[in-house]
Chain A
Amino acid sequence: MSQVTHRRTGIRCGTGTLCVLSWLALACVTVAAAAERDAGAAKAANASAGTNKSGAAKIAPNKGATQSTANKSTAREPGGVDVAPKPTPDADADSLSPSARLRDEAEEQAGGEPAKEEEAGKEARTVTRQAMLIASLTIFVLAIFVGFEIITKVPPTLHTPLMSGSNAISGITIVGALIVAGHGLGVAPVLGLLAMVLAMVNVVGGFLVTHRMLAMFKRR
């Protein structure tokens, strides 16, 4: 891999590092933008704005681990699709939120403590959300470094199985497909079905083909 080594510090800068740096830069911009937006939203205490992160109706559950007590939603575990992302029960739980929010708005109009609590809650959620994002980014960067270290040790003889094997691993999208396809209603699960088929072909075909190839490499 093309690299330049700085004599004294031994810092190596090559294509890989540049890729990582550019992704990092992109990510920092995103985090900063997200943070600003959240801060703005929190300040405006505008619960009806679509950017209400606390609602977190995205497939991932609430990033904000602790919600302000005013919202009375169950504190959810941050991160990971693992925590049952439930759009419908989400609607239930978050229908608490709209009513809670209406209450908040009323309280805000009344001014005073609850509004501040709400704001503090939002800011807490913002901070947690940022922390989550940074955690994800950290993992991303580390994984890339691990990838580089491992892959450079694979000899050219095995490059074709490596490509088909890593291709099969990129079928990990199937996890996302499973989750999208597993939701009951509407167009989304159909997209999930399509994704399932494609990802399954990628995974099954990929691992089988790699196995076929590797089985052929014999020593004398």
Chain B
Amino acid sequence: METASLVKLVYLVAAALFIFGLKAMAHPKTAVRGNLLGAAGMLLAIVVALVTVWSEPDASYSYIVIGAILGTAIGAVLAYRVRMTDMPQMVALFNGFGGLASVFVAGGALLLARQAAKAGGGDMSLDGLVATAASGLIGAVTFSGSVVAWGKLQEVSYFKKPLTIPSQQLVNGLVGLLVLGLCVLVSAGYGWVYVPLVIAALALGVLLVNPIGGADMPVVIALLNSYSGLAAAATGFVIDNYVLIIAGSLVGASGVILTNLMCKAMNRSLFNVLFGVMGGSSSDQNVDAIYATVRATSGDDVAMILEGAQRVVFVPGYGMAVSQAQHAVRNLAKLLEARGTKVEYAIHPVAGRMPGHMNVLLAEADVPYDQLKEMDEINPTFDSVDVAIVIGANDVVNPLARTDPKSPIAGMPIIDVDKARNVIIIKRSLSPGFAGIPNPLFAADNALMLFGDGEKAVLEIIAAIKLL
């Protein structure tokens, strides 16, 4: 069989491995294997690509080897040094790198085509040019957007305050049009326009992600994830490589689904998340009135409430991640379980800064995954919950989502902690969450506030229980 056909078949096998790998992600038991399958597929694709390079007379391996070693070293170091809490920004960063890689590949392909054209061969076809422009555009937007997302999540001071740009939307629109125009120029054959196109697209990425707040990052990261897949697919069209097209589409689909899930979980349209302004419309007078009946409590009191509780549900939020309290929470849970309490965790889809963020943190703390309950699964059962412990979550347990149609979180599905018999809210202060609105849950009759850092508060409770 000709090398060409063999190579294509092996690419197909690699693509199949990707598909099986992702399919295995459907259950924690098979997921590890699924990841290995995906890695095997990638290895196969790399080997085959090397074969392709080898079969060329002017092949040079020095760049490949240098690139591979450098990349592996950096990737491995980053992967093992990152804390689970910082996983969202790491995923964002890796994502951005992939996007930038697409930009360089498409640019390189264009250059090579131009070189060959000068040597007398034909130039890149129209669809190749369109795909190159698309690849450059999407890759660049993904890169700069991901870097901004990383900065916001990492809380790098430069990124903390969104740069205020006058008539933000107008500027966005203008840059968007510029980018599209440049795409058309590239497709028309003006290859050098690729460089300004990439620069403009980088700017667009920054402009788009810059105004979006930290708590909306789950949506942004999922969306950028899908873009990097689309960039890979576009590059696949440029160099006529099926495995790139297939893998890119898989990733693109994955990102779109997650983005959709996030938006539904916040009851906001994607458009609203990307371009809307958070209507932090809380008239200040109401805040004091709402919080008039807030009652504070202490570790000892909580321990007494927990004694004899049959069912306890933890509701984690980003605050738990910030204070790294997941291990303390797990210890408290084990303590309670030893006393016969049933412990579960209610995970809201957008709790944390990334879909599944809370699950990963709790898994890191050795919480068995069958105790991690989805919101839809556990919400109906809150009537029979004795104690709900809210740690570091705010908007996802705010009853205003149900009651106030004008609030920025109106219609957002929340965790029905207010239906539990007792609610303990562990929080540093009464400051509002991302939505910038007060939370009447704090002042409810069955609610008690335990003020303090997440981890410290939980440790207090543990100590108090041990004394009982």
B55 interface residue (CB < 8 Å to A): yes
A10 interface residue (CB < 8 Å to B): no
Q: Verify A57–B242 contact, CB threshold 8 A.
A: no
A82 interface residue (CB < 8 Å to B): yes
- Say whether chain A's binding surface is mostly helix, strand, loop, or mixed: helix
Also in contact, A58 and B125, with CB within 8 A (given A15-B256, A90-B119, A193-B67): yes
> Which B35-75 residues have a C-beta within 8 angstroms of A?
35-36, 38-39, 41-42, 45-46, 48-50, 52-53, 55-61, 63-64, 66-68, 70-72, 74-75
Residue of A whose beta carbon sits closest to that of B28 = A217
Whole-angstrom CA separation of A168 from B170 in the bound complex: 35
Of A53, A150, A177, A209, which one neighbours B101 at CB under 8 angstroms?
A: A177
- Say whether chain B's binding surface is mostly helix, strand, loop, or mixed: helix
A192 interface residue (CB < 8 Å to B): yes
Q: Verify B79–A199 contact, CB threshold 8 A.
A: no
Whole-angstrom CA separation of A213 from B260 in the bound complex: 23
> Which B209-256 residues have a C-beta within 8 angstroms of A?
221-222, 225, 228-229, 231-233, 235-256
Chain B residues in 8 Å Cβ range of A207: 35, 38-39, 42
Q: Verify A58–B109 contact, CB threshold 8 A.
A: yes
Q: Verify B4–A82 contact, CB threshold 8 A.
A: yes
Chain B residues in 8 Å Cβ range of A201: 71, 74-75, 78, 94, 97
A180 interface residue (CB < 8 Å to B): yes
Whole-angstrom CA separation of A181 from B66 in the bound complex: 10
Q: Verify B260–A1 contact, CB threshold 8 A.
A: yes
A174 interface residue (CB < 8 Å to B): yes
Also in contact, A166 and B225, with CB within 8 A (given A175-B46, A180-B108): yes
Chain B residues in 8 Å Cβ range of A206: 75, 79, 94
A85 interface residue (CB < 8 Å to B): yes
Chain A residues in 8 Å Cβ range of B357: 160
**Nearest-Cβ distance from residue A119 to partner chain B, whole angstroms:** 16
Of B126, B249, B347, which one neighbours A144 at CB under 8 angstroms?
A: B249
Of A50, A77, A209, which one neighbours B79 at CB under 8 angstroms?
A: A209
Chain B residues in 8 Å Cβ range of A111: none
Q: Verify B229–A166 contact, CB threshold 8 A.
A: yes
Whole-angstrom CA separation of A84 from B58 in the bound complex: 11
**Nearest-Cβ distance from residue B239 to partner chain A, whole angstroms:** 5
Q: Verify B60–A184 contact, CB threshold 8 A.
A: yes
Q: Verify A178–B368 contact, CB threshold 8 A.
A: no
Q: Verify A147–B254 contact, CB threshold 8 A.
A: yes
Q: Verify A140–B363 contact, CB threshold 8 A.
A: no
B360 interface residue (CB < 8 Å to A): yes
Q: Lowest 9 A-B CB distances belong to which pairs?
A: A55-B122, A200-B71, A196-B67, A147-B253, A57-B116, A57-B121, A159-B356, A204-B75, A205-B75
A residues in contact (CB < 8 Å) with B: 1-2, 15-16, 19, 30-31, 33-34, 37, 50-60, 63, 77, 79-91, 94-95, 97-98, 129, 132-133, 136, 139-140, 143-144, 146-148, 150-220
Write 19 A-B pairs (CB below 8 A) sorted by A numbering: A1-B257, A30-B126, A50-B123, A51-B125, A55-B117, A60-B239, A88-B57, A91-B119, A97-B122, A146-B19, A146-B249, A151-B253, A159-B359, A163-B354, A173-B231, A176-B105, A180-B105, A200-B70, A210-B35
